[in-house]
Amino acid sequence: MKYQPPYTITSKIIHLIAQISESIGRLTALTQIQDSLKLRKANRIRTIQGSLAIEGNTLSTEQITAILNGKTIIAPPKEVQEVRNALKAYEEIQDWNPDQESHLLKAHQILMTGLIDEIGQYRHGGVGVMSGDRVVHMAPPANQVQRLMRELLQWLAEGNEHPLIQSSVFHYEFEFIHPFADGNGRMGRLWQTLILSQWNPIFLNIPVESLIYQNQKAYYDALQASTDRSDSAPFIEFILQMILDAILSSDASDQDTAQASVQVSDQVKRLIQNMEQKEYSLTELMALLDLSHRATFQKNYLTPALEAGVIERTLPDKPKSPKQKYKLKI
């Protein structure tokens, strides 16, 4: 008999699905209007910061951005490693199939490299979820994990539920099983993002984890309420609300960015499309575009890009400094 996770479709869940579907359609249309590379990178950083902060990582979005750009920061080595692992995982996420066990194990290996010994494999011992000094959930025995995960992955592969329902149920069931010695929270959130991205790729760039971090207690309360009821409806309602809030937040940001984008010239778009996440001198920027006349470059490319807020000076207080460089504004 095939495994069927227990959950109830409430009126709130139906209402949230309708709102999300409408909002995601509007957001998708907006991102097609604009070149949203800068926004996508900013949201990816917010996603990683939020997901790791839930697990106790203290690095800021600015520090994560610095790591992404290859800079050295002063921070606990473990937290830096967590960020590097997460950046790599989100780079590879589009190569994974959410119902493939080998991909799940590979993702865990990437996320937890250098952090624990048991990477890319299910746990070999018992594990409990703690709230302070209190055990709030004892996960199933280790000898049941492989069977439970394979049943869950089979349900994911063969089910015909709406992706918003399917991803939320999977997320809850995954946390209930707690299949790994560590990293279950960040893996569950990563895998829900992966499942949703199969429905609409824009979910790769919506920082749901940032909203979960801001509502961390409610996140754990929803998990516990679902366990107490043997029904994941409370968790589904909570996570769908976080998804909707994240979409609406991204929608507002994208509208502002889209309005600015339609006002910038083709020259400015050409400039930022050729720039990478690093610092450039004025001469280096001109070389990117194969231009030699400095005054024309400054008038048609550099000044409009600075005024549009899509690039910024590294020495904003010294605009004429010979050491001045320019970078994409995140």
Q: Is 129 annotated in some ligand binding site?
A: yes
Exposed / middle / buried, residue 262 (Cβ in 10 Å: 0-12, 13-18, 19+): exposed
Tokens found for residue 186: 């960040």
Read off the pLDDT of residues 259-301 as tens digits, 9 standing for 90 and up: 444 455 778 888 888 888 889 999 999 998 888 888 888 888 8
Query: pTM of the full predicted structure?
Result: 0.74
Residue 178 annotated among the catalytic residues of the structure: yes
Q: Is 147 annotated in some ligand binding site?
A: no
From the candidates 108, 171, 178, 293, which is the catalytic residue? 178
Q: Poorest-confidence range of 19-28, 43-52, 106-115, 298-307?
A: 19-28
SS (H, E, C) 105-157: HHHHHHHHCCCCCCCCCCCCCCCEEEECCEEEEECCCHHHHHHHHHHHHHHHH
C-alpha span between 93 and 179 (Å, rounded): 20
C-alpha span between 105 and 317 (Å, rounded): 49
Q: Is 275 annotated in some ligand binding site?
A: no
Say if strands 134-138 and 128-131 run parallel, antiparallel, or are unpaired.
antiparallel
Matching residue, tokens 């109830």: 8
Q: What is the dihedral angle through the alpha carbons of 149, 132, 217, 226, rounded to the nearest 10 degrees?
A: 40
Q: Is 134 annotated in some ligand binding site?
A: yes
Read off the pLDDT of residues 57-98 as tens digits, 9 standing for 90 and up: 999 999 999 998 889 999 999 999 999 999 999 999 999 999
pLDDT of amino acid 261: 45
C-alpha span between 311 and 103 (Å, rounded): 37
> How does residue 34 score in pLDDT terms, banded at 50, 70 and 90?
very low
C-alpha span between 236 and 242 (Å, rounded): 10
Q: Is 326 annotated in some ligand binding site?
A: no
Read off the pLDDT of residues 173-219 as tens digits, 9 standing for 90 and up: 999 999 999 999 999 999 999 999 999 988 988 889 888 988 988 99
C-alpha span between 213 and 48 (Å, rounded): 11
pLDDT of amino acid 295: 85
Matching residue, tokens 């209930």: 176
Tell me the sheet residues that pair with 139.
none
Q: Is 251 annotated in some ligand binding site?
A: no
